[in-house]
Amino acid sequence: MAADRRSSWLKGVLDLLVLAVLTEGESYGYEISKALAAAGLGEIKGGTLYPVLNRLEEADLVVGEFRVAERGPGRRYYQLTGQGRRALAEQSASWLEFHTAVRTKLSSTHPGGAS
Amino acid sequence: MSGNNGDIAGGSGIQSGDYFAELAGCLSAAGLSQEQVATTVADLRGYLAESESTDAYEEFGAPRTFAAGLVEGRVADEPDAQAETWKWATDIYADRQLLNRYGDQGWEVEGLDRLGRFVCRRDAQAAMRWEYRREIANNAKERESVAAGLALDAWEPCGHWLYFMYFKRPKAASAGPAAELDDLVAPPAKQLFLSGRYRGKLKQFAAAAVVSGTVSALVLSYGGDGVFLPFLIASVVAAPVGGYIGWSRMKREITAAEEA
């Protein structure tokens, strides 16, 4: 139940989180997934992450480039575009505003929270 | 491309080599080039190897569903000879309803032409359903901001007229496999659709034009030479003021309808 709820929350903000990871520099699928897990967001399956990366690329918010590796099958590296940076800034502000409203409401009804 | 990776996919019991072969088939069928399929599969193989998972099915889900997510929004490199085109026009009171009705029949809006008509295409071999929405933006900066906000939900701009922006996205983005289109309805014969509300406004406008024309003619005929100049000045002032009031009222109505 708790995992389902977290998964549902994540669905609305995963695009932003991926863009946020890419502000630290270019990255590839598994590394992005690891960064999100390290940030406490839980394990993101490839089946969830890759359609998001495709969507961001189609919207010109990130650009992907496949590079052949000396060892292994090669990787597709993703980089944030200028449009992606602007979208991240605007949508982050909207998300934080929403988060603040939720937090304020929940805190006001929580026994240990603010009145 | 699909390789011969014989790893047994844990829980699903499917070998990951079989999984990627099936995925490659789905990606090819969706129109990706051999190179795109090869690099996509190679990247996913690398992901699976690094994650130390042995179950591609568990990591990525059913190949067909996963492939649909990977090709969503990608446009074929070459135009299809089987594609049909259709141009049509409507008014601002019926546009969204009609766009979504014809989007459900596989018509994709590519833009608006100089006459304000929606220019649509439909690929008879690989038609899919589309959904549309309209937003309001007063200038280029607002248009950019609105487009950036909607891009995260896979909405793509497909034209703008005055301060209306139109967006499209494949219905698969919200409905998944249920958005597949099996049977094609024949292209509509009509090219102009006017709503009852718009026709009502046209009648009001025509009646107002007849009344003001008649009054003007009477004033100029019977008012004498001294009336001509003041009447001309009044007309020059009244026309843009009336036009602005009418436009503002319509804009207010539309904005209220958008927010409702």
Q: Which residues of B9-29 are buried (b: 16+ CB within 10 A; e: fewer)?
A: beebebbbbbbbbbbbbbbee
Say whether A51 and B61 touch across the interface (CB within 8 A). Answer: no
Pick from A88, A82, A83, A66: which is nearest to A15 by CA? A88
Higher-confidence residue: B4 or B38?
Answer: B38
Using a CB-CB cut-off of 8 Å, the residues of chain A touching B59 are 45-47
pLDDT level of residue B179 (50, 70, 90 thresholds)? low
Say whether A83 and B149 touch across the interface (CB within 8 A). Answer: no
Q: Across residues B51-73, what is the average pLDDT?
A: 87
A51-108 residue pLDDT tens: 999 999 989 999 999 887 666 667 899 999 999 999 999 999 988 998 899 899 988 8
Distance from the A12 Cα atom to the nearest Cα atom in chain B, whole angstroms: 9
Give yes or no for a contact between B59 and B51, defined as CB atoms under 8 angstroms apart: yes
Distance from the B21 Cα atom to the nearest Cα atom in chain A, whole angstroms: 15
Strands (E), B16-138: 83-90, 108-112, 118-123, 130-136
d(CA B193, CA B126): 27
Say whether A66 and B47 touch across the interface (CB within 8 A). Answer: no
pLDDT level of residue B1 (50, 70, 90 thresholds)? very low
Residues in A lying within 8 Å of B, measured between beta carbons: 15-16, 28-30, 33, 45-47, 50-51, 54-56, 58-61, 66, 69, 72-76, 83, 86-87, 90-91, 94
B185-209 residue pLDDT tens: 888 888 899 888 888 888 888 888 8
Using a CB-CB cut-off of 8 Å, the residues of chain B touching A97 are none
Bridge partner residues of B121 (DSSP): B85, B108
Q: What SS3 class is residue B39?
A: helix
Q: Is the pLDDT reported for residue B118 higher than 60?
A: yes
Q: Where are the domains of chain B?
A: 16-71, 83-193, 196-259
Residue B154 exposed, middle or buried by CB count within 10 Å (0-12, 13-18, 19+): buried
Residue that the structure tokens 């038609």 belong to: B127
B155-178 residue pLDDT tens: 888 988 888 899 988 877 666 656
Q: Is the dihedral of CA B224, B229, B233, B235 positive or negative?
A: positive
- The residues, ordered by sequence, that sit 6+ positions from B46 with a Cβ below 8 Å of its Cβ are A28, A29, A30, A69, A72, A73, A74, A75
Residues in B lying within 8 Å of A, measured between beta carbons: 39-40, 42-51, 58-61, 66, 69-74, 144-145, 148-149, 151-152, 154, 156
Q: Which domains does chain A have, with CATH numbers?
A: 2-109 (1.10.10.10)
pLDDT of residue B15: 64
What tokens does A101 get? 């409203």
- The residues, ordered by sequence, that sit 6+ positions from B213 with a Cβ below 8 Å of its Cβ are none
Q: Is the pLDDT reported for residue B2 higher than 70?
A: no
At residue A89, what is the residue type?
A
Among A54, A67, A71, which would you mutate to test the B interface (most chain B Cβ atoms within 10 Å of its Cβ)? Answer: A54
